[in-house]
Amino acid sequence: MKTQDKQKRFLLPEDEIPTAWYNIAADMPNKPLPLINPQTKEPLKAEDLYPLFSHAAADQELNQTDRFIPIPEPVRELYKNYRSTPLVRAYGLEKALGTPAHIYFKNESVSPVGSHKLNSALAQAYYCKEEGVTNVTTETGAGQWGAALSYATKAFGLELAVYMVKISYEQKPYRRSIMQTFGAQVIASPSMSTKAGRKILTEHPNYQGSLGTAISEAVELAMQTPNCKYALGSVLNHVSLHQTVIGLEAEKQMAMAGEYPDVIIACFGGGSNFSGISYPFMRHVFSGEKKTRFIAAEPASCPKLTRGVFQYDYGDEAGYTPMMPMFTLGHNFAPANIHAGGLRYHGAGTIISQLLKDGYLKGEDIPQIESFNAGELFAQAEGIIPAPESCHAIAATIREALKAKKEGKEEVILFNLSGHGLIDMTAYDQFHAGNLIDYSLPDEEIKRTTDSLEKII
């Protein structure tokens, strides 16, 4: 009675889970421009980052030579609790679209905290523990990163304080509660507990918060607390590095499926899940072996990839971070209160920005309502309710699959399902109630926030 049907889900045995992350910086045709120390205006050295980050993370941040960096055994042990994540052929979605395209997704939503964020959280918490750190601070937008780091710090016996973007704190009380269940302290940002928070609350009493502001607060607290480091969930090179476990697995799993992706799609906030699934495949484009296309699906209301400028900018609102060469809308850009809180960030990381400049990927802007329509279609076709962030990747996938249908092409599409939306149902309620609107962002607004940037490039 064995079924004759094709396999749907592809999983790796535990000993096939990657033992090293892939460091794309070693292979890039053009290396990213250096980070700049805002005090000295000199290129940043790893030591400049030591006060803020674990030394291991700081070293990884600037490492442009080692192609593979070993995954520490205790981190890999915890990866085994949920990895490999499944690679799934989305037969249901293909059928719903009537497309000849073969759609695959890498299902990071099966992580116990519901998203890919745990891949870097475990690594960063481990390094902190190894280096004798006792306390960690961070920020979180939608709450995915905060939830992941809450569990990761608990797993390694560290204390954690999380600054959670206020709009998410209010829209997503369950995520706050998840962090608290893992033992973390959660503060709505902007808060009165930091200089950066007090300043913005004084100037804009009703400010709903942004990742940029929350980062400022978390950095400030880390700098003022003994034996405390800061951990970031996206944007930085070492975070993208840790996320490459996604793409390294997907590469083996696509081989199990007997196919190779023509196009790879992920949503884009700070870039961590996009980098994670893309970089391991992109190296074969550098080498000329493959012609894979890469699409970063960003919200139309926060379009740094398609409408931002390539310039040095700060990673946070208050200007505490090093200056980074990035596609940015300006660190003072206040994104609209869309439900995909994890995508409300003003800039892209240095590596991804260089790769975009060099034409290796393409940004695609997705309006909010299109993203939820896509998410609901996917939910009904595949049974998984996607996170509002991931809905953007699905919307871009659907665009691509419908193009393939029009052209009659059996294109192979791989997208990253970065997280599930079971904790984001308020957003779906708003969608069902017809309360969502698509914000139109005038050029003048972008000009205002980018014109003020120092012209270093």
Binding interface with a second copy (CB under 8 A): 1-3, 5, 7-9, 11, 14-15, 19-20, 70, 73, 76-78, 80-82, 88, 92, 110, 112-114, 118, 151, 154-155, 173-174, 177-178, 180-183, 376, 379-380, 382-385, 420, 422-423, 425-426, 428-429, 432
CB of 71 vs a second copy, minimal distance in Å: 9
Q: Please say which residue, 180 or 202, places its beta carbon nearer to a second copy.
A: 180
Pair of tokens at residue 190: 């902007």
CB of 150 vs a second copy, minimal distance in Å: 10
Question: Across the chain, which distance is largest between two alpha carbons, in Å?
Answer: 71
Cα dihedral 326/271/357/402 (nearest 10): -140
Q: Please say which residue, 96 or 402, places its beta carbon nearer to a second copy.
A: 96
Is 310 in a helix, a strand, or coil?
Answer: strand
CB of 20 vs a second copy, minimal distance in Å: 7
Going by C-alpha positions, the residue among 337, 335, 330, 334 that lies closest to residue 308 is 330
Q: Please say which residue, 38 or 72, places its beta carbon nearer to a second copy.
A: 72
CB of 12 vs a second copy, minimal distance in Å: 10
Contacts for 51 with CB less than 8 Å, ≥ 6 apart = 223
Report the alpha-carbon distance of residue 329 to residue 154 in Å, rounded. Answer: 35
Report the alpha-carbon distance of residue 321 to residue 216 in Å, rounded. Answer: 8
CB of 18 vs a second copy, minimal distance in Å: 10
Residue 45 CA neighbour count, 13 Å, CB half: 3
CB of 2 vs a second copy, minimal distance in Å: 5
Helices vs. strands in the chain: H and E counts, helices first: 18, 15
Q: Please say which residue, 129 or 331, places its beta carbon nearer to a second copy.
A: 129
Q: Please say which residue, 118 or 296, places its beta carbon nearer to a second copy.
A: 118
Q: Please say which residue, 79 or 268, places its beta carbon nearer to a second copy.
A: 79
Going by C-alpha positions, the residue among 178, 212, 173, 179 that lies closest to residue 344 is 212
CB of 294 vs a second copy, minimal distance in Å: 27
Q: Please say which residue, 2 or 455, places its beta carbon nearer to a second copy.
A: 2
Run of H or E residues at 266: strand 263-267
Contacts for 321 with CB less than 8 Å, ≥ 6 apart = 215, 219, 314, 315
